[in-house]
């Protein structure tokens, strides 16, 4: 079974370099266009099931890719982006220029990231992503051939980094531009990465935030 793990299209907050986290920011015009181009690139994939974060930037992306296929996009709270607490909405440049900012370590020393004020740790996000895969995706082996999952940059890295044995200090090693698609294979209860971060449009945008 192949799993197409996709990041949502661009938002105005992506473009401005703002931390989105779990804020429900919509796709911008370019983000919709990127989703349409990705849908065209995946038009020959016969998806049997589709899952998405409930945040509209992911859900609209997923529905765009599924298009006229007769399947419902199922939402799951565990696919939401990491919660960044009070930093949501802030420009990342503020954090980059201040080593005392709570998001500075997330950007530059992710293995030292110690979230405060209700923000979420990498471990917590990784555990909920793994729980989603165990409960929703693994039981589909033998029943489905192709499954779409649309989520977010940091959340998708939690999944990919675990599979690739990438430590938290190298959390940003895999660039995941908007609408990047990574292909995973599930066989005999084992997941492996087939392809990382493929884009179906020119000039990838927002490879980190």
Does residue 81 have an active-site annotation? yes
Instruction: Provide the token pair at 71.
Output: 């399947």
pLDDT band at residue 43 under the 50/70/90 scheme: very high
pLDDT of residue 209: 84
User: Please, where are the H alpha helices in 100-152?
Assistant: 104-108, 122-132
Q: Which of 10, 29, 72, 81 is catalytic?
A: 81
Q: Report the candidate in 166, 173, 99, 98 with the shortest Cα–Cα distance to residue 126.
A: 166
Does residue 8 have an active-site annotation? yes
Q: What is the mean pLDDT of the chain?
A: 97
Predicted confidence (pLDDT) per residue in 123-166, tens digit: 999 999 999 999 999 999 999 999 999 999 999 999 999 999 99
The answer, as to whether pTM is greater than 0.75, is yes
Q: Which of 8, 10, 88, 120 is catalytic?
A: 8
Predicted confidence (pLDDT) per residue in 62-111, tens digit: 999 999 999 999 999 999 999 999 999 999 999 999 999 999 999 999 99
Predicted confidence (pLDDT) per residue in 110-119, tens digit: 999 999 999 9
């Amino acid at each position: 079974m192949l799993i197409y793990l996709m990041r949502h299209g661009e938002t105005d907050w992506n473009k401005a370099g703002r931390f989105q986290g779990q804020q429900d920011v919509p796709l911008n015009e370019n983000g919709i266009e990127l989703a349409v181009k990705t849908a065209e690139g995946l038009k020959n994939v016969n998806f049997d099931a589709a899952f998405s974060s409930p945040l509209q930037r992911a859900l609209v992306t997923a529905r765009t890719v599924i298009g006229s296929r007769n399947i419902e996009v199922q939402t799951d709270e565990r696919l939401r982006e990491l919660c960044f607490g009070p930093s949501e909405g802030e420009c990342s440049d503020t954090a980059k220029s201040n080593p005392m900012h709570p998001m500075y370590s997330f950007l530059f020393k992710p293995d030292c990231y110690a979230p405060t004020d209700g923000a979420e740790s990498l471990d917590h996000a990784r555990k909920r992503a793994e729980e989603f895969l165990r409960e929703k995706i693994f039981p589909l082996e033998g029943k489905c051939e192709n499954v779409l999952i649309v989520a977010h940059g940091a959340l998708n890295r939690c999944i990919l980094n675990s599979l690739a044995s990438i430590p938290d200090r190298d959390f940003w090693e895999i660039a995941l531009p908007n609408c990047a698609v990574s292909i995973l294979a599930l066989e005999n209860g084992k997941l492996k990465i087939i392809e990382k971060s493929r884009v179906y449009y020119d000039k990838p945008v927002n490879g980190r935030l």
